[in-house]
Amino acid sequence: MMDVQTQKIEALIGEMTLEEKIGQLQQCGPSLVGAFEVSFEELLDMMFDGRISQEEFGRLMSTAEKDFHEEDLRAGKIGSYNGVGDALTANRLQKIAVEESRLGIPLLFGYDVIHGFRTVTPIPLAESCAWDPDLWQKTARMSAEEATAAGVHMTFAPMVDVAKDARWGRVSEGAGEDTLLNGDYGAAKVRGFQGEDLSQTDAMAACLKHFAAYGAGEAGKDYNREDMSKQRLWEEYLPAYKACVDAGARAVMPAFNDLNGVPCTVNEWLLRDVLRDEWGFEGITISDANAIAECVNHGVVADRQAAAKEALQAGIDMDMTSNVYAENLAGLIEAGELAVDLLDQAVYRILKLKVELGLFENPYRTDEEKEKRTLVKPEYRSLAREAATKSMVLLKNEGILPLVPQQKIAVFGELANDPGQMTGAWAIGAQENECVSLLQAMDVQGISYAYHPGIVEGILATAEIEKAAESADVVILAIGEQKEESGEAASKAEISLPAIQLELAETLLRTGKPVVAVLFNGRPLAIPTVAEQVPAILEAWHPGIEAGNAILDILYGLVNPSAKLTTTFPFATGQCPLYYDHISTGRPGGKSKFTSKYLDTPLEPVYPFGYGLSYTAFSYSNLQVETSGDAVQLAVTVTNSGAREGEEIVQCYVQDIVAKRARPVKQLKAYRKVLLQPRESITIEFEVPFEKLGYYDQKMEYVLEAGEFAFFVGGNSRDTLSETIHLSFI
């Protein structure tokens, strides 16, 4: 028997015309008109390829007007908008939908709230280095409160694409290379975005992406193919998406890529067999931007009409901005090539989400006054600062840090003086004047310094550098990537630092002054020279709106760094993809010639997965491993052997030593962050259920195979204690 909600939705569908049904599947992106004779997409290309400057792009955008296709909205041809992020516009369009369309169905507004709305937090790759699900949930909750105050109902996040290749630009948007961490990160974000009740006005639907295996693009190129065994897909890539579905995510975005030859956008096995039938997902699916139309480019359909047919049959409910459904579904249904039931199912799911969001009862969930008093509140800035300090990884420290107030400081590098660069990729709601650079923070805090960019118009200013460093006790060097060098469509064939930045570092080292390198980047970098020669290195990533303040908190020791890498730092780009949980070969890398290695790089990465230093030191002892019931119980003693309070992220790994399929040399199975006082010891316990120790065999059956298992516990994936135990699983 149908519940009242279902009856109301089905009754509404019964009143809808074919055109109105198709309209609910249409997510519209506003068009730009005026000031220029090219499309918005072409204008973006002109900026990215250098035909116009970023300043000229901004000027043209400021004189343009947005066309929201209001007549189509009145006619019931639009059910959702993408990219509307202010209360005034959202309510104006909502008023047209509710009061001027025939059925008054409210709109759904989607927006890319990836790592903060206006109060931008560290990029996801950075925040994942906190290994802190409570923090991840809190920052997502803050994002939801801000975004919903600006009229947003759904965020296209979290991204939980396991990313093992640092060349891929979008590694910045997820939680790194590990399956477990991506799942924990995504689930925490879902809970934070959606809150306890989706109908509350400060809750927004989470749309997990990109389903599936988008982070495994061949050669690290964005949008590229993914070809892999089903065993690897189910063991390494799908679990993170499943964790988000289990956490209650109300939307799923299929990936641009093909998966074993079938684009995810038209992959019925992925979207129906796995997502809906096996996992029980009942929310909506929405294509990525223009992805349905791009199935023509993939070569799996002949034209846009065929793409529309294949996508709806595969299970895509909503078309993001390609207009393929709007142009073709009616004709396909009228010709009998598509069943109207398929359309009705998609409409039902979209209307159900609008009901869950409370939009029928309260279509105007915010107003301009609420928006004004919600954005960038002091407590939000405080949380952003906390998130940034917990995300920065201390990679090296030869006794230079923390700095002391009496020291004379010289600062070099343009990134120290550019607040707009601090947000990183996909921070579209950020405003530069609300961001704090390193130099701005030093000014506000009254820290005296000498500054020189070091590089002027692409040339190293050697004399000026030496002069600025002459009277300094310590030199701070800000180097790394511009924010445009990571994120979508920002894959790179070379992930080393630019030669001119390395020359700047070498020039400063020759002065004999102690150098602290602060890295700003959206991906792991190949930095063997810096790692070897620079005595102190802080990985700041792109830390968000409170960047400068958070960096000073770490450099001056107001906060003891505790973050650990969630991605491996290679020695050279040619090692990519390089990741800790690789499968061992028949000839593992070693000193002998005929082993799996490169002739021109070390075997080990510059920095391994899980690595990070503190201003104190931690030691591990007395690892105990035993079985109890249906789980392995581990206990280890962790001691703060240093002189100040600090947090340590204790990590537990496992290796199935002998199995019928080659298994990873290590897999993360548990972790815990603990606070220890100086000289304090604590016993940390982990429980690893037997069910987490299986794998998929050649017949795609999940098996638990008796045998020897090695367990590793330590402060990173390389430096661990280990014990081996026989498990029978009886």
> Counting every residue, how long is the chain?
730
Identity of the residue numbered 637 = T
Render pLDDT for 121-180 as a digit per residue (tens, 0 to 9).
999 999 999 999 999 999 999 999 999 999 999 999 999 999 999 999 999 999 999 999
pLDDT per position as a tens digit, 184-225: 999 999 999 999 999 999 999 999 999 999 999 999 999 999
Residue 721 contacts by C-beta under 8 Å, 6 or more apart in sequence? 620, 621, 623, 636, 712, 713, 714
Strands 26-28 and 319-320: parallel
Mean pLDDT across 52-59: 70
Question: Cα angle vertex 648, ends 666, 178, to 5°?
Answer: 30
Tell me which amino acid residue 614 is: S
Instruction: Specify which residues 560 forms β-bridges with.
Output: none
pLDDT tens, position by position, 516-541: 999 999 999 999 999 999 999 999 99
* Helix, coil or strand: residue 589: coil
β-strands 449-452, 409-412 pairing: parallel
DSSP summary character for residue 229: -
Strands 65-67 and 31-33: antiparallel
Residues forming the active site: 288
Bridge partners of 635, per DSSP, are: 624, 685
Helix axes 547-555, 378-391, angle to 10 degrees: 50
Q: What's the Rg (C-alpha) of the chain?
A: 26
For residue 202, give the amino acid letter: D
Q: What is the pLDDT of residue 54?
A: 62
Top pLDDT among 32 and 100 is at 100
- In tens, the pLDDT along 239-293 reads 999 999 999 999 999 999 999 999 999 999 999 999 999 999 999 999 999 999 9
- Read off the pLDDT of each residue in 441-467 and give the average, rounded to a whole number: 96
Say what the pLDDT of residue 35 is: 46
What sign has the CA pseudo-torsion 577, 719, 523, 602? negative
Of 248, 266, 241, 271, nearest to 256 by C-alpha is: 266
Residue with tokens 């480019």: 297
Q: How many other CB atoms are there within 10 angstroms of residue 610's CB atom?
A: 28
pTM above 0.85, yes or no: yes
What is the enclosing helix (H) or strand (E) of 621?
strand 618-628
Provide the β-strand partners of residue 518: 478, 538
| Superfamily holding 618-727 | Immunoglobulins (2.60.40.10)
CA–CA separation, 106 and 99 (whole Å): 9
Q: What is the mean pLDDT of residues 303-328?
A: 97
Question: Which of these CATH numbers, 3.40.50.1700, 3.40.50.150, 3.40.50.300, 3.40.50.2300, describes 377-575?
Answer: 3.40.50.1700
Task: Give the model confidence (pLDDT) of 550-565 as tens digits.
Answer: 999 999 999 999 999 9
How far is residue 426 from each of residues 178, 421, 466, 595, 680, measured CA to CA in Å? 22, 12, 37, 41, 42
Looking from the CA of 151 toward its CB, the CA atoms found within 13 Å total: 25
d(CA 237, CA 449): 47
- CA–CA separation, 542 vs 552, rounded Å? 15
User: CA 102, CA 348: separation in Å to the nearest integer?
Assistant: 18
Confidence (pLDDT) at 39: 61
Read off the pLDDT band of 5 (50, 70, 90): confident
In the beta sheet, which residues pair with residue 258? Answer: 263
Longest dimension (CA), the chain: 82
Instruction: Give kind and range of the element (H or E) at residue 20.
Output: helix 18-24
Instruction: Report which of 227, 164, 158, 238 is spatially closest to residue 191, judged by C-alpha positions.
Output: 158
**Contacts for 297-302 with beta carbons within 8 Å, 24 or more apart?**
298/258, 298/263, 300/258, 300/262, 300/263, 300/266, 301/266
Q: Where are the domains of the chain?
A: 33-67, 377-575, 618-727
**Angle value at C-alpha 637, between 632 and 641, nearest 5 degrees:** 155
CA dihedral 138, 143, 146, 147 (to 10 degrees): -150
